[in-house]
Structure 1
Amino acid sequence: MRPHVVAQLAVSLDGVTSGFDVDLARFYALASLWQEDVTLIDAGTILAQENAVLAAPRRGPRAEGPLLAVVDERARVRSWDSLRELGYWSGVLALYADQTPERPPDATTRELITGYDQVDLVEVFDVLGRRGVQTVRVDSHAVLRTCLGLDLIDELALLVHPVLLGGEPWYDVHRLNLRHAGTEVFKDGVVWIRYCVAT
């Protein structure tokens, strides 16, 4: 059975995902409520933070933490050891496709290969489910868009910030069938809205 897949986004009132300050401590404290078994992210998100990852203290894998799975079709991520040692995750898993470039012969990162030139997320979730994974939390806009297009998201939380930016909205919400699951309002005007996504 495929895992329960959840995602959380920080957005403006008009659905933009950047250009405003986000309280990251609150964002990740709320995200931790799902107690995911796997955190799913894309290589672009890792590469955007690579310098910080490489400079961060290495506390070692957190045995009770989730597994970090990274969609990396072009094998661009090189900081696997640093990611593994950050102290947030129990380990790392590289998600590759058949046409992903060859990795160094001494690479020790666990791999899951699905799809031809792109990672097949449907198969990824099937494999994870067979391995006992119950909850996956998507922590990347690019992966979230793909998952929504494939009807793979079960639960969506929006951390809505009281700003209007006039940029590109994160998704065509008219295509989503959402059922309200809860709302919480914070003192600074940020609203946390949770939805179940009906297919």
Structure 2
Amino acid sequence: MRPHVVAQLAISLDGVTSGFDVDLARFYALATLWQEDVTLIDADTIVAQENEVRAAPRRGSRADGPVLAVVDDRARVHTWDALRELGYWSDVLALYADLTPARPPDATTRELVTGYEEVDLLEILTVLGRRGVRTVRVDSPALVSACLDEELLDELALLVHPIRIGGEPWYDPHRLHLQHAGTEVFRDGVIWIRYCVST
């Protein structure tokens, strides 16, 4: 049985996920609601922040924190030790495919290999479920879209900011099948809307 899969995105009124300021403290405070066992993220998100990750203080792994699992079919992430030591996660897990380039023979990062050219998200979730993982929180727009496409997402929270950006929305709203589960409005006009995803 696969874990419960949840996602939270910060978006503008027109559905764009970048180009505006997000209160990250509030974003991640709200995300603690789910107390995930695994945080699932894509390599693009990590690679875009590698300089910041390298420069960040090393506080050590957090024993009671979730595992950070990174979908990295092209083996582009090189900051595994730094990620592990940031103080947010208990450990890191590299998610590779059969055709992922070879890693250094002395690599110490745990790996899970699924799929041929690309990581197989369903198989990843199935394996994690067998290992006792109950909740996975997806933490990047591309992966949220992929999980929706593959009908793997159970719950979606949108932190909607009162601003129009103009640009490509993160997902085609006509393809979403959502059941409203709750709304909270903050003083600055940001609205937190939670949905159950129906297939």
Separation (CA, whole Å) in 2 of partners of 1:176 and 1:142: 15
- Aligned amino acid, residue 101 of structure 1: P
Question: SS of the residue aligned with 1:126?
Answer: helix
Name structure 2 gaps, 5 residues minimum: none
Counterpart in the other structure of 1:17: 17
Partner of 2:148: 148
Residues in 2 aligned to 1:28 and 1:141: alpha-carbon distance in whole angstroms: 15
Q: Secondary structure at the match of 2:193?
A: strand
Q: Distance in 1 between matches of 2:136 and 2:13?
A: 26
Number of the residue aligned with 1:63: 63
Q: How many Å apart are 1:179 and its aligned residue?
A: 0.2
Note the 1:70-81 alignment, pairs <5 A: 70-81=70-81
User: Mapping of 1:116-195 within 5 angstroms?
Assistant: 116-195=116-195
Q: Which residue of 2 aligns with 1:52?
A: 52
Secondary structure of residue in 1 paired with 2:52: helix
Any gaps of 5 or more consecutive residues in structure 1? none
Match in the other structure for 1:26: 26
Instruction: Specify the alignment match of 1:111 in structure 2.
Output: 111
Q: Shift of residue 164 of structure 1? A: 1.2
What is the deviation of 1:166?
1.9
Residue 142 of structure 1 and its aligned partner are, at CA, apart by: 1.4
Deviation at 1:155, TM superposition (A): 0.2
Q: Distance in 2 between matches of 1:38 and 1:45?
A: 16
Aligned residues between the structures: 199
**Structure 1 residue 4 displacement after superposition:** 0.3
- Displacement of 1:167 after TM fit? 1.2
Distance 1:149 1:143 in 2: 10
Q: Distance in 1 between matches of 2:19 and 2:75?
A: 29
CA distances 1:14-63 after superposition (whole Å, capped 9, x unpaired): 11111111100000000111100000000110010001100111111100
Structural RMSD (CA): 0.5
Please say which of residues 104-113 and 161-170 is displaced more in the overlay: 161-170
Task: Report the CA distance between 1:165 and its aligned residue.
Answer: 1.6
Q: Distance in 1 between matches of 2:136 and 2:173?
A: 22
Report the AA paired with residue 127 of structure 1: V
Partners of 1:142 and 1:168 lie apart in 2 by 13
Q: What's the CA shift for 1:144?
A: 1.0
**Counterpart secondary structure, 1:69:** strand
SS in 2 for 1:41: strand
Q: Distance in 1 between matches of 2:175 and 2:188?
A: 30
What TM-score comes out, normalization by structure 1 length? 0.99
Partner amino acid, structure 1, of 2:172? D
